Structure 1
Amino acid sequence: MSTATIRLMQPENLAEVTRLAEKESWNYSQDVIKALFEYSPEGSFIAELQGKVIGVAMGFNMSEEEAFGGMWIVCKQHRGLGIGTRLRQKVEEYIGDRNLGIFSVAERVVPNKRLGFTVESWKVRHVSGTIATEKIKLSEDCIVSAFPSQGVQFDALIQYDTKIHSIERERFLRVWVEGKSTTTLVAMSKADEIVGYGVIRRDSNNTTLLGPLYGETSAIIKTLLVSLMGKTTFGETVDMWVPVGSEILQELLTENKNTLKVHAEFTRMFYYHDVKAPRKKIFSIASGAVAHHC
């Protein structure tokens, strides 16, 4: 058993947690880790040994019934000493009896079942590269405007997001959509109703993340996608986390086969029951780093 101390993460730990994530090949920028921490400081734990951060685990209580897990990392030289188990216990104490969900890499699906994640749900793919938007056919199903704008304030965005996600997540969205390097676009119907929205943000690693991106129809999703890509520079690489089975993704991969690649696939898993989501209305989730969110 290691003598490492397990305690709540503090703002001054963010840089060291980021270095640990990078060292262990978790592609999390400090900006994303900061957003996660600000969303759930009471569910963010570190393992510390001789003043050095050697492990981290994060949990996020979404409602009285639902919770999701984020990072769970222990540096290689300190594995097998029970540190990961102690970190996980802290997260479990924080979430209580809630239905915990995660996104799991393929090789962890079976071990995660032994840890209590008995329900397998849908999968997402990590996709990155450049997109030739001129090849995307658009129709005039909506009007896209920047958020916030007249008639589209935060309460309205929350209401639409909750329709998709099924769980109200105001605290997360305030952190995710209001960053200095973030652009949020909202799609409005001719009746002035929100019919989709999308977010694009640049993190401290100079990575451009595209998501979440939701829309009531494929045409609306495509319009938002083209509008969001218009906020990037020519040839800029974007990162996306897209549900498996997305017809729009397949179309993009076909049209951009030399510049857009699938890197990995992850399975959504839960303790007790699946949390349903209208996948046809979801083009991309916030990020694999924010795996507890659509």
Structure 2
Amino acid sequence: MSTVRIRLMRPEDLTDVTRLAEMESWNLSQEVLRALFESSPEGSFIAELQGKVIGVVMGFNLSEAEAFAGMWIVSKMHRGQRIGTRLWQKIEEYIGDRNLGIFSVSERVVPNKRLGFTVESWKVRHVSGTIATEKIELSEDCIVSAFPSQGVQFDALLQYDTKIHSIERERFLRVWIEGKSTITLVAMSRAGEIVGYGVIKRDSNNTTLLGPLYGETPAFIKTLLVSLMGKTTFGETVDMWVPVGSEILKELLAENKSTLKVHADVTRMFYHHDVKAPQEKIFSIASATAAHHC
């Protein structure tokens, strides 16, 4: 009888991991999964049975004190065999004593508390559809340009990202903003300071993941949002994870009732303590399924 083997994920596993994610209704393209894997190959594990990927989990050590995890999947036909437990043990070994964070669907909040996630933080909403941008008021106090540009270097972008995220994540950011299917736009004040930035990643399924999108004011966020949407084609679906309390999201949902839909809310949970973030400056995060807390 064949036994299940838990091992580190390899680049050649990404096709099978993507297929597993699709089977379990996780909306993640291979392009996004590749970016996440490349930002933490040493924290990405799969369960393999007779050469077939039947489980996966990803962990990200953000600093000496903080970590995040996601993409914890076991195929339905192989559940109840402690495969998920064995995958999770690998993540616990990888993160060590760090404060681990996750995004939890509502039905897993209580079970996750039994796993040691003692802190419930703010919620994030999964939204997708098309957005009509013609009614969005734009700010005239910032200039939006593509990154990299003459006035914006990576170090400056990293510094701004760290200001929002609270933890420096150079490795993740370098991978996330690269690639032919990725566009990063930066908003600059008239004084030459970064006042926001946003990323879109287009996948092979004609879906565009929008995030992260940060801005110092709602006006800057809206200007970046319109600029990013201008890089998409008409009718292209946008997929994003937005803090539940976002006033801009409420406006968008009201203006796009027939085309923009809410799918689910997830809760940020941590082992030991919350990791604070300025929600008023966050329109969307990179991903709530397998990424960092912003």
- If the TM-score is normalised by the length of the shorter chain, which range does it land in? over 0.9
**For residue 31 of structure 1, what is the aligned residue in structure 2?**
31
Q: Secondary structure at the match of 2:101?
A: strand
CA deviation profile, 1:164-204 (whole Å, cap 9, x unmatched): 00000111111111111111110001110000000111013
**For residue 100 of structure 2, what is the aligned residue in structure 1?**
100
**For residue 116 of structure 1, what is the aligned residue in structure 2?**
116
Question: How far apart in 2 are the matches of 1:58 and 1:29?
Answer: 15
Deviation, structure 1 residue 233: 1.1
Question: How far apart in 1 are the matches of 2:212 and 2:127?
Answer: 14
Deviation, structure 1 residue 119: 0.3
The percent of aligned pairs where both chains have the same amino acid is 85
Contact 1:9 1:45 in 2 (8 A): yes
Q: CA RMSD in A?
A: 1.2
Q: Secondary structure at the match of 2:134?
A: helix
Deviation, structure 1 residue 28: 1.3
Question: How far apart in 1 are the matches of 2:175 and 2:124?
Answer: 23
**For residue 187 of structure 1, what is the aligned residue in structure 2?**
187
Deviation, structure 1 residue 25: 1.2
Contact 1:32 1:289 in 2 (8 A): no
Question: How far apart in 2 are the matches of 1:266 and 1:244?
Answer: 9
**For residue 244 of structure 2, what is the aligned residue in structure 1?**
244
Q: Secondary structure at the match of 2:151?
A: coil
Question: How far apart in 1 are the matches of 2:42 and 2:263?
Answer: 32
Deviation, structure 1 residue 291: 3.7
Question: How far apart in 1 are the matches of 2:143 and 2:205?
Answer: 32
1:133-172 pair list within 5 angstroms: 133-172=133-172
Q: Secondary structure at the match of 1:288?
A: coil
Question: How far apart in 1 are the matches of 2:41 and 2:207?
Answer: 24
> How high is the TM-score relative to the length of structure 1?
0.98
**For residue 264 of structure 1, what is the aligned residue in structure 2?**
264
Q: Secondary structure at the match of 2:289?
A: helix
Question: How far apart in 1 are the matches of 2:169 and 2:190?
Answer: 27
Amino acid at match of 1:270: F
Question: How far apart in 2 are the matches of 1:200 and 1:243?
Answer: 17
Question: How far apart in 2 are the matches of 1:291 and 1:107?
Answer: 20
Question: How far apart in 2 are the matches of 1:19 and 1:228?
Answer: 29
Deviation, structure 1 residue 257: 0.9
Question: How far apart in 1 are the matches of 2:160 and 2:11?
Answer: 31
**For residue 209 of structure 1, what is the aligned residue in structure 2?**
209
**For residue 41 of structure 1, what is the aligned residue in structure 2?**
41
CA deviation profile, 1:62-110 (whole Å, cap 9, x unmatched): 0000000021011111111111000000010000000000000111111
**For residue 233 of structure 1, what is the aligned residue in structure 2?**
233
Question: How far apart in 2 are the matches of 1:152 and 1:117?
Answer: 39
Deviation, structure 1 residue 141: 2.0
Question: How far apart in 1 are the matches of 2:153 and 2:175?
Answer: 15
Q: Could you list the runs of 5+ residues in structure 1 that have no partner in the other structure?
A: none
Question: How far apart in 1 are the matches of 2:184 and 2:290?
Answer: 17
**For residue 274 of structure 2, what is the aligned residue in structure 1?**
274
Deviation, structure 1 residue 32: 1.1
Contact 1:124 1:241 in 2 (8 A): yes
Deviation, structure 1 residue 288: 2.3
Question: How far apart in 2 are the matches of 1:287 and 1:204?
Answer: 17
Q: Could you list the runs of 5+ residues in structure 2 that have no partner in the other structure?
A: none
Contact 2:129 2:239 in 1 (8 A): yes
Question: How far apart in 1 are the matches of 2:84 and 2:171?
Answer: 27
> How high is the TM-score relative to the length of structure 2?
0.98
